[in-house]
Structure 1
Amino acid sequence: MPDKFVFADEAGCFTFNRDQNVSRFFVLCTVVMNDCRVATDLLELRRRLAWDGAELGEYFHATTDKQDVRNAVFDVIRRHEFKVQATIMEKSKAQPQVKETKPTFYQYGYFYHFKFGVSRLLGPASETLVTTASLGTRKEKVAFEGAVSDVMRQTNGSRQWKADFMPCHSDPCLQVADYCAWAIQRKWERDDTRSYDLISDRISYEYDLWARGTTHYY
């Protein structure tokens, strides 16, 4: 059994222009946990909210949840120990070869994300299960696995890890990653830190990947 659990999600769209309702940033987000007990508490919260007549979607999803539901979810999340890592990618600074395909974009971002944000939280002999919300295509899954595999091999070859892909509604821990990604994106896109402030003490890594870049490609 693994002794570390990493749940990954992202925020932002894969559209490269300045049209209305197109995100400026693409945010890669992971949550590292030693156990998954938060999942039990989120399921219990779901049952309680349903009993109380709250307006709910099919699962906790920060973008569409009502504010009172978000408040309750963040309250439960904050009772548990975890670390959050975020890589911020300002899409207009992505070089043409980086954004040529979605798998290429994923692999580029996740390689740096795991190398500098996640790997230092894993012990040299750790056994890690990396779960991400289902990616759209087989190529995207291969790109994700390739990025993580490269990092694990380069930083410590003795680490054991496995990747798993599932819909966000299938695991409440993925919903934790969704909420954290959403909160971080709100900060960067809208300068809205209300939700970000609730998890800021859990953030171990938040890096603007192209902060030093000066060229915008659109």
Structure 2
Amino acid sequence: MGAALGKRRYLFSDESGDMQCRAGGQVSTYFAVGTLLIEEGELARLRSEMAALRDDLAWSDQGLDSCFHATEDSYVVRDRVFDLLQQFDFRVDVTLLQKNKAQPHIRRDDPTFFKYAWFYHLKHLAPRILHAEDEILIVAAELGTKRVRKAFRAAIEDVMHQCLPFRVKRSLAFWRDESDFALMAVDYCLWAVFRKWERGDELNYKKVQDKIKTEFDLWQYGSTTYY
């Protein structure tokens, strides 16, 4: 018998918090990266059901200005989205970096900090979700500058070469937030996790808690702070 074929998977990604490493009232404590892993058939269902929800909300005079976005949506819209997300089979993983624990060489500029965050997120995650001969499409919400996109791509390539002892076919895409409902879904899930860590608010986190497979505090055992 021949070797078993791998699976085709989709990994949608997002970030939360800012990358400003300084003390300040409007600066986040953490920077977080998150991913949503979903299989092909379930992705089709998610896209279809979220499109139907958008239409239903519009008919109920809750039309969106652009797309679902957790920080901007009304309570009514947000509750409907979280209720819908509970019905799907996907996993979410989040890596959090407490920024005042970042050593100076890590935070010397945004692309360096960004690459570091994504490298350790994927290093932690990839061996858990990928198997020999899998295919994975990694979709990032559009990432501003070319330097940041280059850092993201480099982090993925480094992890694939250093952390996986087998072949995984991967493709990378940068899509606008409003272009895919799965990007909106990961935005919602990451928002819920981030509010839990930043504000101690678990109201919406509890609605998707069973989807959150890992919350990895990268420097949880570090005691040195730099500001």
TM-score normalised by the chain length of structure 1: 0.96
The corresponding residue for 2:38 is 33
> Partner of 1:60: helix, strand, or coil?
coil
- Kindly indicate whether residue 108 of structure 2 is the aligned counterpart of residue 100 of structure 1: yes
Gaps of 5+ in 1: none
Distance 1:3 1:83 in 2: 15
Q: Decide which of 149, 160, 166 is 2:169's aligned counterpart.
A: 160
Match runs of 1:29-108 below 5 Å: 29-35=34-40, 36=43, 37-54=45-62, 56-108=64-116
TM-score normalised by the chain length of structure 2: 0.92
Paired-residue identity, %: 38
The corresponding residue for 1:194 is 203
Q: Decide which of 181, 184, 190 is 1:181's aligned counterpart.
A: 190
Pairwise CA distance, 1:159: 0.4
The corresponding residue for 2:4 is none
Distance 2:223 2:59 in 1: 52
The corresponding residue for 1:17 is 22
1:7-36: CA deviation from partner (whole Å, max 9, x where unpaired): 000110121222112111111100000121
Matched pairs, number? 218
2:13–2:141 contact (8 Å) kept in structure 1: yes
Q: Which structure has the bigger radius of gyration? A: 2
Distance 1:204 1:191 in 2: 19
1:86–1:117 contact (8 Å) kept in structure 2: no
Gaps of 5+ in 2: 1-6
Query: What is the RMSD of the two structures over their aligned residues, measured on CA atoms?
Result: 1.4
Match runs of 1:97-136 below 5 Å: 97-136=105-144
> Partner of 1:162: helix, strand, or coil?
strand
Distance 1:119 1:57 in 2: 39
Pairwise CA distance, 1:70: 0.6
Q: What one-letter code is carried by the residue in structure 2 that aligns with 1:67?
A: Y
1:95-117: CA deviation from partner (whole Å, max 9, x where unpaired): 11111111111111111111112
1:54-82: CA deviation from partner (whole Å, max 9, x where unpaired): 15231000001111101111111111100
Runs of 4+ in 1 over 2 A off after TM superposition: none
> Partner of 1:22: helix, strand, or coil?
coil
> Partner of 1:70: helix, strand, or coil?
helix
Distance 2:187 2:126 in 1: 17
